[in-house]
Copies of this chain bind each other. A is one copy, B any other.
Amino acid sequence: MFTIGKASEQSGVNIETIRYYEREGVVPKPGRSAGGRRLYSPNEIAKLRFVRRCRDLGFPISIIQTFLSLTEQEDRSCTEVKTLAESHLDEINAKIENLTLLREALRSLSANCDDGTAACPMHDALMKDGFGELISE
């Protein structure tokens, strides 16, 4: 059994964040020592690590909770997890696409600044009425 500090080290989840996850019911409440300190089993630490990795992958907490509850009921949850992952993949693709558009827009605005004619062509372009709407979303 490990205290919250060790659990944090091993899972890579910040101590405050671990307590936050507990408050929000993302992970179950751990046992306590005689002195009232949280004690984590290796299994619970694995769960925290799982949450962190899912967060790193960009999953929102709500979906991670679904993942964890699907995992509780051991029967054939793989396809459901896969479906969720793939719809998330679509979102990521959309984000990448938008960011790429945005990058091009910024690049061309910034490039205009090089000719040194106007006070600030970038600013002017963003102020003007006729400037096209960049982001689709």
A residues apposed to B, CB below 8 Å: 12, 46-47, 49-50, 53-54, 56-58, 67, 71, 74, 76-79, 81-82, 85-86, 88-89, 92-93, 95-96, 99-100, 102-103, 105-107, 109-110, 113, 116, 118-123, 126-127, 129, 131, 133-135
Contacts and interface: CB of A to CB of B under 8 A. Distances in A.
Given A49-B127, A122-B82, A89 B106 contact: yes
Stoichiometry, copies per complex: 2
A110 to B, nearest CB: 5
8 contacts: A74-B119, A76-B119, A77-B120, A85-B110, A85-B122, A95-B99, A96-B100, A99-B99
A81 B131 contact: no
